[in-house]
Amino acid sequence: MKSIQTLSVSSGKGGVGKTTLVTNLAHCLTQQGGRVLILDGDLGMANVDIMFGHRAQLSIADLISGRTDLHNIILEVSPGISLIPGGSGVYGLHNLDQTAKVALMEQVSGLDNQFDFMLIDTAPGISDNVLYLNAAAQETLVVVTPDPASLTDAYALIKVLHKRHFENRFSVVCNLVRDEIEALSIFRRLSDVAAQFLCVGLDYKGHIPMDPNLRRATKLQQLICRDQTGSPSSEAISELARKLSDFKGIPEIKGGIQFFWRQMAGVA
């Protein structure tokens, strides 16, 4: 049985376009035949539901508090795309008692059969929530932009995940760039610093060009990959989705949604 692929989308700083990327990636993956589950892990700024024209009534905080179970939280926001809405308290997964942890694992056990991909939209920065979400995922996609602060903070995120959680493999996508020449220049700067000071591998996944259509679509809470398929950014995100579909990961170590939730809940 094929295991669900878990991918965290993260960044060192805010404003790099993570949520826009996650929602459009999800749409592209469904167009390629995949079934996608999104976890909105941007606590306090959870807004994935809005991008799909929904307003979630329940969130993962309701699961942690015991007010409901996982299946009642999951919201279908588009054909082939379901969402676990964010809410304050994801870190509380680590504080569940053993009975609650076992109950959560039982609820999660059936999800591998329902989805092909799980995308985790993390908050920016290096808080404990962000680190746990990234460390639990099968693949970490770090989003960077030409902003020097974005590059510096992306390196800080990679460094902390490597030092504290022993992560040594990261994927990188360059957003809001003029062209691939600029994207590769940004990637090489990040890769060179990582190679000099850290023992990690960075994998260039591609770039998303600066596109006024994308900025406009995001402001209107629209998915550019659904509504403007011929735009440069739409084509770039579609290509990124194809690359992610081909990612095989390391299933014996970090495969499957149950592994992700065991890591998050601290189940040995």
Domains in the chain (CATH in brackets) are 5-265 (3.40.50.300)
Output the pLDDT for position 247. 63
d(CA 75, CA 82): 5
Output the pLDDT for position 38. 95
Phi first, then psi, for residue 54 (nearest 5°) are: -120, 165
Output the pLDDT for position 94. 58
pTM of the model: 0.91
Exposure letters 20-32 (e unless 16+ CB within 10 A, then b): bbbbbbbbbbbee
Block residue for tokens 């959560």? 104
**Could you tell me the mean pLDDT of each successive run of 10 residues in the chain, 268 residues long?**
82 93 97 94 80 89 81 94 80 64 70 88 87 88 96 96 94 97 98 94 96 94 94 97 76 65 67
36-41/81-84 β-pairing: parallel
Angle at 54 between CA 121 and CA 34, to 5 degrees: 55
